[in-house]
């Protein structure tokens, strides 16, 4: 006798696993942002307390890398959401969010490359 995946509960198991994995990936994205904030704030505070000039571009570039990582993690979470999206409306919304995050990540990565190449104006 053949048992369908629905009867065996496999489909529900996969959906629950995907939702938990999505939550974990989103949490990692939030942690990446928090880590970037703490690292950059700590460096800025040390520079300020030591009376050194603040290296704004280096701090900004460091934080941008953390933001790029977080955006990639959030995009991964969006992709996981499409595995369990029950309607075309939700898939469309997830697609729009994914496009926005991809565009943000593209421009952020471009700015990082320009800063590393030294073509951005220096701020103090």
Length of the chain in terms of residues written: 124
**Residue 87 resides in a domain:** yes
3-state DSSP assignment of residue 51: coil
Q: Alpha-carbon distance 64 to 106, whole Å?
A: 12
Evaluate whether residue 79 is within a structural domain.
yes
Q: Residue 31: what pLDDT?
A: 98
Residues 71-115: pLDDT tens digits? 999 989 988 888 776 688 888 888 888 898 889 889 988 988 888
* Predicted local distance difference test score (pLDDT) of residue 43: 94
Classify residue 124: in a domain, yes or no: no
> Residue 1 pLDDT more than 90?
no
Residue 6 has pLDDT above 70, yes or no: no
Q: What's the number of domains the chain is made of?
A: 1
CA 40 to CA 103: how far, in whole Å?
Answer: 24
Does the residue 3 lie in any domain? Answer: no
Q: pLDDT tier at 7 (50, 70, 90 boundaries)?
A: low
Considering only residues 94 and 30, tell me which one the structure prediction assigns the higher pLDDT: 30
Report if residue 29 sits inside a domain.
yes
Domain that holds residue 49: 10-117
- The answer to whether residue 5 is domain-embedded is no
Helices then strands, counting H and E runs in the chain, come out as 4, 0
Mean pLDDT (whole number) for 9-35: 92
Secondary structure letter of residue 122 according to DSSP: P
> For the whole model, what pTM was predicted?
0.77
């Amino acid at each position: 006798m053949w048992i369908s995946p629905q009867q065996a509960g496999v489909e529900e198991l996969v959906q629950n696993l995907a939702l938990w994995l999505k939550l974990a990936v989103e949490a990692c994205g939030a942690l990446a942002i928090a880590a970037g904030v703490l690292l950059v704030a700590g460096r800025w505070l040390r520079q300020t307390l030591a009376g050194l000039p603040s290296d704004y571009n280096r701090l900004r570039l460091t934080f941008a890398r953390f933001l790029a990582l977080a955006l990639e993690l959030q995009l991964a979470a969006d992709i996981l959401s499409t595995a369990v999206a029950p309607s075309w409306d939700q898939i469309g919304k997830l697609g729009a969010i994914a496009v926005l995050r991809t565009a943000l990540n593209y421009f952020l990565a471009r700015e990082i490359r320009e800063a590393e190449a030294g073509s951005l104006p220096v701020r103090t």
